């Protein structure tokens, strides 16, 4: 028992440092705030009742997403059909250590974008290929094109409603590597997909619990992307670590509170 207690004490030191345990730890406070209790459900999920009463609000909520309708649209080709079995894709998926500098096609990129977070028209309304808390879809995808055939190098936003990409600006490959804290690992990549969250699109309904739903949804989305990449023999690696403010500056229009990048896929050959 004393041996177990000694190891437990060491773990506490690793997590909290040498300071005394506090009662205002930010991570613990957030997790507590995101819990749902039966006695307080009315304010734990403040927007549920209002959303249920308003058909108009329901329609607006299910058409979420950043829009750049004032900019020219690059229409994506139809997604490719893959014949690889799901078992084979799961077995073959790897987080690649380094890329070889080859290019990918626009059709391959389209397959990953539309197959992971594209729009699916259903009788109950527009949906995406992954589950989302309340079907609110609070995520947006930004593409960093480095070596994609028929697509200029630059930063793009994926528009699932119009099935295309909108060119937002330029970027530096060297700066991108520094932002990802992995200059050598991401060198010679073909493209990257930055998952951005607009927290308010879920929080208005689910309160603090929304953050759990958003991060879970980002995981569903990333899994779709890496499996679709593997099915097309594209190497990939997901990254959760990056310099937040610098990545926000790269994609633009984010303040780090209402919206922020939360996950990134880097892919290539």
pLDDT digits (tens, 9 = 90+) for 178-213: 999 999 999 999 999 999 999 998 988 888 999 999
Half-sphere exposure (Cβ direction) of 201: Cα atoms closer than 13 Å: 21
If you count them, how many residues does the chain have?
A: 269
pLDDT in tens, 205-233: 888 999 999 999 999 999 999 999 999 99
Handedness of CA 132, 133, 138, 139 (dihedral sign): negative
d(CA 171, CA 190): 14
Cβ atoms of residues 48 and 205 within 8 Å:
yes
pLDDT band at 59 (very low <50, low <70, confident <90, very high): low
- Structural domains of the chain in order of their starting residue, each with its CATH number: 35-268 (3.40.109.10)
pLDDT in tens, 140-163: 999 999 999 999 999 999 999 999
How would you classify residue 28: left for phi > 0, otherwise alpha for psi between -120 and 50, otherwise beta? alpha
């Amino acid at each position: 028992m004393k041996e177990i207690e000694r190891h437990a004490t060491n773990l506490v030191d690793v997590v909290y440092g040498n300071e005394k345990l506090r009662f205002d730890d930010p991570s613990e406070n957030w997790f507590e705030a995101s819990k749902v209790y039966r006695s307080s459900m009315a304010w734990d999920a403040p927007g549920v009742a209002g959303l249920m009463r308003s058909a108009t609000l329901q329609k607006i909520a299910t058409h979420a997403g950043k829009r750049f309708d004032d900019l020219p649209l690059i229409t994506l080709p139809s997604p490719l059909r893959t014949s690889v079995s799901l078992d084979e894709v799961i077995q073959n998926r790897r987080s690649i250590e380094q890329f070889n500098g080859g290019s990918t096609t626009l059709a391959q990129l389209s397959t990953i974008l539309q197959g992971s977070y594209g729009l699916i028209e259903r009788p109950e309304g527009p949906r995406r290929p992954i589950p989302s808390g309340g079907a609110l879809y609070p995520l947006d995808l930004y593409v960093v094109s480095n070596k994609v055939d028929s697509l200029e190098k630059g930063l793009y936003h994926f528009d699932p409603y119009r099935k295309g990409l909108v060119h937002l600006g330029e970027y530096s490959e060297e700066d991108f590597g520094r932002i990802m804290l992995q200059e050598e690992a991401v060198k010679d990549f073909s493209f990257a997909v930055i998952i951005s969250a607009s927290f308010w699109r879920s929080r208005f309904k689910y309160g603090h619990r929304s953050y759990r739903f958003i991060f879970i949804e980002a995981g569903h989305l990333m899994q779709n992307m890496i499996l679709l990449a593997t099915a097309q023999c594209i190497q990939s690696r997901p990254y959760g670590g990056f310099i937040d403010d610098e990545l926000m500056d790269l994609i633009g229009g984010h303040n780090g509170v209402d919206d922020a990048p939360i996950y990134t896929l880097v892919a290539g050959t």
